[in-house]
Chains A and B, each alone.
Chain A
Amino acid sequence: MSLPPATPQLLRYRALGGPRLGPWQGVKAIARSSLQLLARRKLFWVLYAFSVMIFLFYFFGQYLMVFLEQRVNDAMVRTGGVFGRTIRPEFVTKMLRDALHMDGSADTYGDFMWTEGYIAMVILAFAGSIMVGNDFQHNSLPFYLSKPISRRHYLFGKAVAVAAVVNLMITIPALALFVEYGFIDTWDYYVDSARLLFGILAYGAALTVTLSLLLLVTATWLKRTVPLVMVWTTVFVLCRLIHRWLVDQLGMSPQWRLIDIWNNMYLFGQWCFGKEHHLLRPTNQVQPPYWQATAVMVAVCVACVLYLRKRVRAVEIIH
């Protein structure tokens, strides 16, 4: 028996209901969409692959050093592969410890985070316009700001996206190296080197906060990629060259190094790692005191916050 045909009904707009979370849910959405935009760029994946290679280099470098120290008793070992040759294990161990600092020390994590930080900085220089600048450049802000969030949430969402990139490339791999070294060395390493764990987290937090704020400020100010890259090059490369020339070549006060925000973050990181100031490498470069570098870093962050506060209040945020 066939059923009678259903009574035709006019299509009607069904009122939408359902739970809606607060504006902090919007922060997650902004961060997620920013990261999605970044992930669409091939350049990001190229640089990220480079960052992963550096991590793997440190990861296996640490493993090799501990392996050679603890497991290899032979006077000479022969390496495999096409270019196999006979080497002394002490030579490799000395190179890994003294030259590359892959010994689970403050230098290991300091160098690793410094190097990875530079790659993150390059990614952010190119990604700034994609993640933030384009919203201002192409006037996409009304879409965001007419939704149930405030400008504060918008900026916080963007900062979370930057923080995710920074921590994915720097802090989390550094923590992975820390965990790895405890596994391959001794369990006591975790207890004895708790200060290093604090240093990783603090240095990572400093990089996260400072880079996020700097990116938001430069991207909301300059909007486009080329000027943004030029300003970041000035801040992170030119300032470095200038302070080296002033201090190392002209013999001026080491306080001139404070103009290099990247160096200031490095000094803060070494402070958190518990590194003695006079042991800072390279030892022939006199560095300003830790507290001064930290004070300048904090001042830069405060200036960025004040600028952003002014920016979000200004009419110009909506062109």
Chain B
Amino acid sequence: MGQLVPNSGLSTRDSGLPPVLLFEQVSKWYGPVIGLNQVTLELRGGITGLVGANGAGKSTLLRLATGQLRPSLGRVTIRGIDAWDWRAKAKVGYCPDNDAFYEDMAGREFVRSMARLCGFERAEADRRTEAVLDRVGMADRANRKLGGYSKGMRQRIKLAQALLHDPELLVLDEPLSGIDPLGRQEMLELFRGLAAQGKCLLVSSHELEELEKLTDHVAILARGRIAAVGTVTQIRDMLDDQPLSIRIDAADPRRLAALLVNRPDVVGVDLDPAVLGDGAAGTLVVRARNPRRFFEDFGRLVLSERLDVARLEPLDESAHAVLGYLLGGSGRT
């Protein structure tokens, strides 16, 4: 599958500057195995979700973006600087998915050592350590040893060390994994706040529902290629070969079905209760090829025929469904 949307420019504020993150025809081989295949991606700001099945190349893309790997072909740049260069890394914060810490260290000590690693003097490192620990809600618990931390606390410490040097690009690999619902809400607020300050966030997550709460702008990876970049709705609209399923609750579903089946964008109407499930007597499911045009057409139809419609709901416009269509499977990541 080719690229549906080649790039995304979200911010106009820094349009004069090179993109925060730019992949130019990047390929990466691991011996005979290809990890990424001619990926072109441009991020200028905001939050972008990175989704894809296991082995799709997410980790490779994140490691290339954070300068941990060098591309076999093509170029990865951060604000115009080669991502491999330490000056580029100074603009990137990385929160890895694994939490292999020095278990004997206290959280505060670990974050402080990471601050020194960023090149800050002792006083500045201490100041930044306290600032980021406070920011992630760990200031009062950071003196405990990392070995005794819960999964959620470890996630927060990882996030804290990623924020230390005030990066322009924040790369987050499964940042919500293991965090309780309340903590997730806090983290999501934090991410939104960072994005509002002009940071560019690239978030890889298996938890599409959480990702959808955070952003509707996603990059979908499949078999080492960027299958699509854009908002979920944009991507969904471009899937011509996958009609959108829409649930409609109406007072007279049979009449509505008869009217709809003749519309040009409708490819099928389902009235079978066995398909729709129990309690779906007044419900029908329409499969439409061009959703935008269908909705406009449907609105006119409702008005002209004076139809009584109680509910109109796209059933497969979620990132999960879109991913499933793109990957040709269930959408499981």
Contacts and interface: CB of A to CB of B under 8 A. Distances in A.
Interface of A: 13-23, 25-26, 28-30, 32-33, 36-37, 40, 134, 138-150, 153, 315, 318
Interface in B133-165: 135, 161-162, 164-165
A3 to B, nearest CB: 26
Interface string B67-100: 1110000000000000010110110111010101
B124 A18 contact: yes
A148 B197 CA distance: 22
A147 B128 contact: no
A16 B115 CA distance: 12
A130 to B, nearest CB: 9
B104 A139 contact: no
Q: For chain B, which range describes its interface: under 10, 10 to 19, 20 to 34, or 35 or more residues? A: 35 or more
15 contacts: A13-B194, A22-B119, A25-B119, A26-B117, A37-B104, A140-B101, A142-B66, A143-B114, A148-B90, A149-B86, A149-B117, A153-B86, A318-B63, A318-B68, A318-B69
A312 to B, nearest CB: 11
A148 B93 CA distance: 10
A146 B166 contact: no
B94 A30 contact: no
A146 B120 contact: no
B118 interface: yes
B267 interface: no
B193 interface: yes
B96 A142 contact: yes
Given A18-B128, A37-B102, 4 more contacts: A23-B86, A28-B116, A37-B104, A148-B118
A147 to B, nearest CB: 5
Given A23-B119, A37-B104, A14 B114 contact: no
B121 interface: yes
Closest 6 CB pairs of A and B: A146-B94, A29-B116, A138-B100, A16-B166, A148-B90, A25-B119
Contacts of B301: none
Interface in B262-310: none
A138 B101 CA distance: 8
Contact of A146 (B87, B89, B98): B89
B113 interface: yes
Nearest to A317: B68
Contact of B128 (A16, A25, A40): A16
A99 to B, nearest CB: 44
B131 A26 contact: no
B293 to A, nearest CB: 43
A150 B104 CA distance: 26
B145 to A, nearest CB: 11
A318 B100 CA distance: 13
A105 B90 CA distance: 52
B67 A145 contact: yes
B98 A142 contact: yes
Contacts of A25: 116, 119-120
Contact of B120 (A21, A32, A139, A318): A21
B53 to A, nearest CB: 20
B101 A16 contact: no
Given A146-B89, A147-B89, A318-B68, A16 B165 contact: yes
Contacts of B93: 146
Contact of A148 (B87, B135, B166): B87
Nearest to A22: B119
Contacts of B131: 14, 16
Contacts of A150: 84, 86
A126 B202 CA distance: 40
Contacts of B84: 150
A139 B101 CA distance: 9
A316 B33 CA distance: 14
A148 B124 contact: no
A145 B68 contact: yes
A20 B118 contact: yes
Nearest to B171: A146
Contacts of A149: 86, 89, 117
Contacts of B166: 15-17
